[in-house]
Amino acid sequence: MRLPVYLYGHPVLRKIAEPVAEGREGLKELLADMYATMYASEGVGLAAPQIGRSERIVVIDADPVKDSFPECAGRKLTLINPEIEILDGDTVSRDEGCLSLPGLSEKVGRVEHIRLRWVDEDFKPHEEEISGFLARIVQHECDHLEGKLYIDHISMIRKQLIKSKLNNIIAGKTRCDYPVKYAPKSRK
């Protein structure tokens, strides 16, 4: 089932997500819903907080960007309770966008060589070194689990320049091609 994507300004996007316990009821259905939502929104990754669930779950299908980033070919990952270790390498700046920040993209500097540890939907442990754009996707999605957004990695000057666009998202003035949930209106 396609779920609404929670947009910038919604408090769930700023919470640190809770670990997922083995045997969590409804996990397979939630994962199926997350993949359906990601595909319908034309994303390459989706974290559970983006659908209003403060849980340490990420789904990724990087295959759509394989023409530009060959390391992404055939890479589909279901990450539960992921942990990232930053490895060596220079910081690379690339444009990033986010389903929770529609209509925006900014250059974000990230190291593109990481070690990733996670369990899959059967709670089988995995560990892998990941490089290139796939490492960027993983870091971006895992940031959501820490209550962070890619705009937290840009300069204050850039934030000032996009402030009106961010305010429009919060105010519900941004339209999307996918179902969304806006931030609750604050009472004054």
Annotated catalytic residues are 141
Q: Radius of gyration of the chain from Cα atoms? A: 16
Q: Are strands 180-181 and 5-6 parallel, antiparallel or unpaired?
A: parallel
Neighbours of 160 (CB within 10 A): 9
Q: Which two tokens stand for residue 186?
A: 């604050």
Q: Which pairs with CB-CB distance under 8 Å and at least 24 residues apart come from 118-122? A: 118/77, 118/79, 118/80, 118/81, 118/82, 118/83, 119/22, 119/80, 119/81, 120/78, 120/79, 120/80, 121/27, 121/28, 121/31, 121/78, 121/80
Q: Look at residues 186, 180, 162, 185 and name the one whose alpha carbon lies nearest to residue 50.
A: 180
Q: Which two tokens stand for residue 129?
A: 């070194």
